Chain A
Amino acid sequence: MSLLKLAPPDLDDDVAVSSIVLTPPTTRGRRQRRFRVPRLVRRIVGPLAVIILWQVVCSAGVFTSYEVASPLAVFDAGRQLAEQGVLLPNLLISLRRVAEGLGLGIAIGVVLAVLSGLFRIGEDLLDPVVQAARAVPILGLVPLAIIWFGVGEMPKIFLIALGSTFAIYINTFAGIRGVDTKLVEAGETFGLDRWGLVRKIILPGALPNFLIGLRLALVGSWLIVIVAEEINAQSGLGYLIMQAQTTDRTDIMMMGLAIYAILGLLADAMVRLLERRLLTWRRGFSGA
């Protein structure tokens, strides 16, 4: 044990003692009172910059128009196709395929997720099957889908449904299983029956995860519709792109891709809106 050594305070030190530097605890979020650029505008700036850069590069003659079409050329191609009455019908057909396939995929994914999320037996029976099916590359199923469903709309819708359903299933299942058991217990004590628990606690609790799944499913379904249409279709955006390839129309091909990009952006905005409306109860951090 050591004894404390006592010494008179050093008189030269007293300036240092009082010189604590004070700063405000945080500067984050305090600037917001100044003028704020609207959210929509801020979100458009990025894509716009990409388009401008793209145009500049093309105008500077870095690529030939066969290699890369400029944004203006792409726009022009779109206008021409629209005037010929080709663009809109094909676009609508693709949209419809996505909507139908996605609708089916969501329905199947949710039903499966609820069955295996709520019931142990459901999980034991369904989950291995779904996991195994998920491991099969969907594009590898294209030839089979044609054998099974012919060349009409069915194989496309089947492939899109399949491509979107897993994202929905996996995320919704995780959401259901992640619901706080303490809340379920509280619901039980306050007299919710089984169906009440599912409706008031379990499904709303799984909703945030479901929406994550929905985002992924949207991306997946666009991916699949274009491939399905390029391989085997007489209509749709993918078909237009394939046609353009045979005639060396880079501008049309890129227009098709640009439309996909725009639709992807819109779909994402839609899910965001949905999230904002459905998850208002969350007070979580949403970006500074």
Chain B
Amino acid sequence: MTMRTQVTPLESPTGVAVVARNVQRTFNGRDVLRDVNLTVEADQFVALLGRSGTGKSTLLRILGGLDPEYEGQVLVPERRAVVFQEARLVPWLRVLSNVLLGLGSRGENRATLRDRGLEALDEVGLAQHAQDWPLTLSGGEAQRVALARALVREPQLMLLDEPFGALDALTRIKMHALLQRLCARHHPAVLLVTHDVDEAILLADRIVVLVDGAIAFDAEVDIAKPRNRGDASFLALRSRLLGELGVNESAPTPPVPSPHLVRPGSAVLTVPAQSFDSLPNDFDNKEIFQ
């Protein structure tokens, strides 16, 4: 109802799933998003990278209609679904009811809905858990239910906020495969927020990097799928992206699976070349590398 008025349904530009123009978001006088411009095409898989605290979740919440207090222009499709880092299943609703949460009100036949829910659960391999309580699921299973809950809405836009961040490396590999399969079948537009550069390169058609409240890097990934972490082009893009994120990759390529990016405080900071001339004379390198 009223919560959704800020996000207007997408009008004409066909083949486009997200339009964001000059988006700004300020928290307590601090500009978290300064000027974000982003257009996502209808079946594009976009990965959004950025250091912790740069406003990735903030942007995603704006696109998902969860945060009305932004400035600028945002257009998204009406059918969209969010998967959060934690599964956010409602503990007192059984798995199937969680999948169907909020769908009943559109006057659809209950039996039809139920079948659709079971089908979605089947797609993530959890049909036999339909009547279980969410608290009895493992972390990976819960996240798959969250994925089913998003899918059953046949979203034109899927917003994924580090959906695999809390999962172990093995489960994550399986989830990547599952997500790719599901996207190939349903082809929604996807915006995947992640810390994991490898994950972004493996899955995305296009990668954008958020730095200081604006998009600083935006490129399509032209590596043929299935992608391999060992390929030269993979590694090249990887270190390019790490560079964009301000991480100096001096060590040789770490083994698979790659580690997450470090928190901003412990990352090695580099000063962009053009700003050297504005530094004070007594500037001491040590301060910045502290």
Q: Which residues of A contact B (CB under 8 A)?
A: 182-183, 185-194, 196, 200-201, 204-205, 207, 279-283
With known contacts A183-B90, A190-B153, A194-B1, A281–B101 Cβ distance under 8 A: no
Known: A200-B93, A283-B133. A185 touches B66 (CB 8 A): yes
- Knowing A183-B88, A205-B92, A281-B92, the reply to whether A191 touches B103 (Cβ < 8 A) is yes
Cβ–Cβ contact A281 & B84, under 8 A: no
- Given the known A-B contacts A196-B102, A282-B135, are A190 and B81 also in contact in the complex, defined by CB atoms under 8 Å? yes
Q: Tell me how far the C-beta of A204 lies from the nearest C-beta in chain B, rounded to whole angstroms.
A: 5
User: Cα distance A200–B88 when bound, in Å?
Assistant: 14
Contact A188 B135 (CB under 8 A): no
Binding site for A on B (CB under 8 A): 1, 3, 64-66, 81-82, 84, 86, 88, 90-93, 101-103, 105, 133-136, 149, 153
Tell whether A189 pairs with B82 under 8 Å between CB atoms, given A182-B88, A282-B135, A283-B135: yes
A278 CB to closest chain B CB (Å) equals: 9
Nearest CB in chain B: distance from A160 CB, A:
31
- In the complex, number of A-B residue pairs with CB atoms less than 8 Å apart: 63
* Contacting residues, chain A, for B1 (C-beta < 8 A): 193-194
Contact of B101 with A187 in the complex, beta carbons under 8 Å: yes
- Asked if residues B149 and A190 are in contact (CB atoms below 8 Å), the reply is yes
Residues on A with C-beta less than 8 A from B134 are 281
Q: In the complex the two chains form, what is the Cα distance from A25 to B136 in whole Å?
A: 23
* A182 closest partner in B (C-beta): B88
For residue A182, which residues in chain B have a CB less than 8 angstroms away from its CB? 84, 86, 88
| Chain B: minimal CB distance from A86 (Å) | 47
Complex interface: chain A residues within 8 A of B92 (CB): 204-205, 207, 279, 281
A188–B3 touching, CB < 8 Å: yes
Most chain B C-beta atoms within 10 Å of own C-beta, residue among A192, A204, A281, A283: A281
Cβ–Cβ < 8 Å partners of A192 in chain B = 101-102, 105
B6 to chain A, nearest CB (A): 12
Q: When chains A and B are docked, how far (Å) is the Cα of A203 from the Cα of B102? A: 16
For A183, list chain B residues within 8 Å (CB): 88, 90
B81 proximity list for chain A (CB < 8 A): 189-190
Indicate if the CB atoms of B66 and A191 lie closer than 8 Å.
Answer: no
Q: Which of A183, A189, A190, A205 has the most CB of B within 10 A?
A: A189
Report which of A186, A194, A281 forms a contact with B133, defined as CB distance below 8 A. Answer: A281
Q: How far is the CA of A41 from the CA of B163 in the complex (A)?
A: 48
Please give, as numbers and ranges, the residues of chain B lying within 8 Å of A196 by CB-CB distance: 102, 105
From B152, which residue of chain A is reached at the shortest CB distance? Answer: A190
CB distance from B253 to the nearest CB of A (A): 32
CB contacts (< 8 Å) of A279 on chain B: these are 92
Give me 6 A-to-B residue pairs in the complex whose CB atoms sit less than 8 angstroms apart, sorted by A's number: A186-B101, A189-B82, A190-B153, A191-B153, A196-B102, A207-B92
